Structure 1
Amino acid sequence: MSVYVRVQEKGQVTIPTRFRNKLKLKKGDTVMFVETKQGLLIKPAEVIVSEALDEIGKALKAEGITLEKWIEKGREFRAEMLMEEYGFKADELEEDR
């Protein structure tokens, strides 16, 4: 479907209501412009994040890394950072709770 809109003085265009509704865009939402051979593609930010997470998931699966392994590696990394940055172990935080 094609719709014509006029470019305003500062380069702004209004996304037609039917497209905003279809993409569930609200005032203040962030979109990304992607240049293609055919022109510009407008994508909502959450679609971009979702696609990036899907790609990360595919890469992890290809390497044989399960979600459980990924979570455990995250815990190990945070524990190392706590020790390096603050000089204490993660389990010391648990004792204070």
Structure 2
Amino acid sequence: MEKKRIVKDYDKLPEEVINQVKLEYPYGFAENLVSFVNAKGEKVSALPFDTDDVYYLIRMTKQEAVQLIEDDDDYDEFGKLSEEFIEDQEEDEGDED
């Protein structure tokens, strides 16, 4: 079975997906963006993110990617995901098992 492909804005993603994205990209998003042409023929940049069920392309420009990290308290002033956030996520995963 082929995975669902979803193109979505970062702020419209469920919180659990956003947390997974942060863990996948602990040093920020800007350097990991890809470009593609959307259905309207427009060139768009997005952050690829793969789960077991869905392949996401999370729409954002490089400027938005940088701003998201700057505004997010889970990242430090150098754009690195905090150890505290990583530990909290690992604890949450442990609770589910």
For normalisation by structure 2, the TM-score amounts to 0.31
Greater fraction of residues in helix? 1
Higher relative contact order (CA 8 A, sep 6+): 2
For normalisation by structure 1, the TM-score amounts to 0.31
Higher CA-based Rg: 1
Greater fraction of residues in strand? 2
